[in-house]
Structure 1
Amino acid sequence: MKPSAASTTAAWIAWRWATLFWKRMANKKRILLFGWLPPPVFGPSVAYQALLRSDFPKHFDVTFINLSVVSNIRELEQFRVRKLLKLAQFLALELWYLLTRRFALVCYPISFNRNAFLKDTVLLGLARAFGVPTVLWAHGTGVARFRETLSPRLRTRFDQMVRRSRGVLVLAECLREEFGNLLPLERIRAVTLGIEPAPTDARHPDGRTILYVGTLLKAKGIFDLLEAFPTVRACVPEAHLVVAGEWFRADEEQATLEWCRRHHLTEAVRFVGPVWGEAKWALLRSADVFVFPPHSRSEAFGLVLLEAMQAGVPVVTTRGGARNEMVADGVTGLLAEEQNPSDLAAKILQLLTDPLLRERMGRAGRERFLSHYTHEHYGRRMIEALEAFTSEPPDPLPNHNP
């Protein structure tokens, strides 16, 4: 029985489509990307998820290895035997990929923690053993401080790891100098993060709500905000603070709750726990001012600021890291001095007592988000950076320790 004309045409279309697909895939540069995906939900895992949903994996042939080893952020700093087992799994998976695929580049998130750095040397060492060029991605700050915590031998290994790479990615132009003593600036590229746009309904703030969203940890500035709040209440007695997020340490949680009781703030400060999805957007829509005052030693960026900007909420944050570039001071929000509750309170009051200023800054923040910080902008920045690193290899650097 002869095939019909329709079935012949369908077979030809399928063959043609498959040919074009594999030809297109063959022309793509292969990238082995290490990173994190939720759970747990924290800045880096959200950032990688957004990247993988942008045009980035359409431009490159991306193989992703998820480095997540815990489901709860409280376990991040705790030793667990299963973390060692996970490392063995990561090594086996990386070895399989390196044996079966030819990569143009390995992109790896470098750690500024001694134990995590030792893990980095193992996984990056395997890639180098296969002759695959590496690009290091710094999600934090404090290169100089981290090097000082290392023994001379480990410091040398860190320097070699950086200097032997094709280059380093940082989160803002102002952070390029972090690696300036180890690499020429042309091998240090800034890739500002972005997030996926979410549907945002009309806002309905009440003129007195201050909102914090993020991990509850001293380094995130939650204690600075609580210390600033009584000053705010003295000027705006009806003001209240909504705190959303998961506590990183149980002792800090107990100390904070006790502090609120001593200062008679248990009704004015509401802890709502971790929030995601629509629950988070509902909080943002009801907020008048969004406050995120981290310490720059541990926080280079702050994706929650982008969420607030997207929702049209004016932000108050601390100077330092990528925040100096993300928030246009006096335009989309206000920058306060780090670990300075008095200055933080003054900035909050500046917005809380001026409805027109809040409206203007909230609108400007949303416009800035849509023009700079969506996941597609982020994906294009990443494409541009890795295309540059996969072109001509850099000139070799002399071996010396700065």
Structure 2
Amino acid sequence: MVIALASMYKVPVVGHVHGGHFGELYREAGRFFRFFIRASAQKLVGAIVLTERLKGMFAGLVRPDRVYVVENFVADEVLPSEEDFAHRRECLKGKWGGARLLYLSNLIPSKGYLDVIRAIYVLRSCGMSVSCDLAGAWMSEHDRVVAEELVRELSLQDSVRFHGIVTGEAKRTLLRNADVFVLPTYYRFEGVPLALLEAMAWGLPVIVTNHGGIGDVVRDRVNGVFVQPRAPENIADAVCWLLEDAERYHCISTANIQLVAERFTENRSAQSLVRVISRLLQG
């Protein structure tokens, strides 16, 4: 409706998709809705996605040369201070005792948080002292009950903590105290999780799946580790690989800090957005 109204008054419209869901939405829509999407897309002067591999969402709808990438960014207020970096440098060491994992995302089952909990059980069964903080919104009461029952069943009450939605200093505290970020997602609408970029900005090595647009940000064994979806043992192995070698951990941590500083800052994203929109409006 908005696109049609803008077109009527000859106002150019750019489609800007922040997730990885648009292609799925179009393919699964009914005949009438697909017609409506195609008609609306034809009125766009162009489209913007988060990574190169997400350009395919607009295949057959927007000309390929009119689909551009503007990468997401880490907000300035989330970036660590010099004191935070000093704390991280002090903690950069391989450690088999007291390791803390961080899951920071909505608590949607297909984001893989139950696999993270099971991975904690695998690690503790091997004698590793490890804990996990999970922060995010529950999608349903049923999901919360299932997760809490799993924690009790595996006797992980002292090792797994649910924090709910965190913002501001509460989020910064979790990022400051974590050793590894874990998001083994197979969520069908995944794009590039903002929490992933935030964790990288804090120098956390990341354990993720090569899913959605994540593979355009993370390189396996360079600034993180790829695991298979629904594979707690894979996650446990990745944690061990990251923490057993202090130099390896340090290299990956440093690589993530540098990558965010080079590609995912608020200023860089704003400049890129202005440049792309200007190009699209010029035809």
| 1:201-220 residue CA offsets vs partner (Å, 9 max, x unmatched) | 12254941111112111132
What SS is found at the alignment partner of 1:366?
A: helix
AA at the equivalent of 2:73: G
- The alignment's C-alpha RMSD in Å is 1.8
2:47 aligned with 1:156: no
What SS is found at the alignment partner of 2:208?
A: strand
What SS is found at the alignment partner of 2:181?
A: strand
Distance between the aligned counterparts of 1:345 and 1:252, measured in 2? 23
Distance between the aligned counterparts of 1:181 and 1:378, measured in 2? 27
Contact 2:180 2:206 in 1 (8 A): yes
Q: Which residue of 2 aligns with 1:185?
A: 64
* Residue 145 to residue 276, structure 1, CA distance change in 2 (3 Å): closer
Distance between the aligned counterparts of 1:269 and 1:322, measured in 2? 28
| 1:341-387 residue CA offsets vs partner (Å, 9 max, x unmatched) | 33222222211322322221111100111111111111111112101
* Count of residue pairs brought into register by the alignment: 271
Distance between the aligned counterparts of 1:142 and 1:168, measured in 2? 14
What SS is found at the alignment partner of 2:47?
A: strand
Distance between the aligned counterparts of 1:337 and 1:247, measured in 2? 23
Q: Which residue of 1 aligns with 2:14?
A: 135
Q: Which residue of 2 aligns with 1:391?
A: 282
Q: What are the equivalent positions in structure 2 for 1:52-71 lying under 5 Å apart?
A: none
Deviation at 1:236, TM superposition (A): 4.3
Q: Which residue of 2 aligns with 1:287?
A: 178
What SS is found at the alignment partner of 2:240?
A: helix
Distance between the aligned counterparts of 2:236 and 2:141, measured in 1? 26
Deviation at 1:246, TM superposition (A): 2.2
Deviation at 1:331, TM superposition (A): 1.6
2:102 aligned with 1:223: no
Contact 1:172 1:321 in 2 (8 A): no
AA at the equivalent of 2:243: L
Task: Output the TM-score relative to the length of structure 2.
Answer: 0.89
Choose 1 or 2 for highest CA Rg: 1
Contact 1:141 1:296 in 2 (8 A): no
Contact 1:333 1:361 in 2 (8 A): yes
AA at the equivalent of 1:276: T
| 1:2-38 residue CA offsets vs partner (Å, 9 max, x unmatched) | xxxxxxxxxxxxxxxxxxxxxxxxxxxxxxxxxxxxx
Q: Which residue of 1 aligns with 2:216?
A: 325
Deviation at 1:144, TM superposition (A): 4.0
Deviation at 1:269, TM superposition (A): 0.7
Q: Which residue of 2 aligns with 1:272?
A: 163
What SS is found at the alignment partner of 1:247?
A: coil
Distance between the aligned counterparts of 1:290 and 1:236, measured in 2? 21
Contact 2:190 2:212 in 1 (8 A): yes
2:130 aligned with 1:239: yes
Q: Which residue of 1 aligns with 2:203?
A: 312
Contact 1:288 1:358 in 2 (8 A): no
* Residue 148 to residue 309, structure 1, CA distance change in 2 (3 Å): closer
AA at the equivalent of 2:49: V
Distance between the aligned counterparts of 1:274 and 1:142, measured in 2? 23
AA at the equivalent of 1:328: R
Q: Which residue of 2 aligns with 1:45?
A: none
AA at the equivalent of 1:388: R
Q: What are the equivalent positions in structure 2 for 1:2-401 lying under 5 Å apart?
A: 122-197=1-76, 198-200=79-81, 201=84, 202-203=87-88, 205=91, 207=95, 208-392=99-283
Unaligned runs of 5+ in 1: 1-121, 393-402
What SS is found at the alignment partner of 1:229?
A: helix
Contact 2:7 2:43 in 1 (8 A): no
Contact 2:225 2:238 in 1 (8 A): yes
Task: Output the TM-score relative to the length of structure 1.
Answer: 0.64
* Residue 339 to residue 168, structure 1, CA distance change in 2 (3 Å): farther
Contact 1:219 1:298 in 2 (8 A): no
Residue identity over aligned pairs, in percent, reads 28
Deviation at 1:296, TM superposition (A): 4.5
AA at the equivalent of 2:242: L
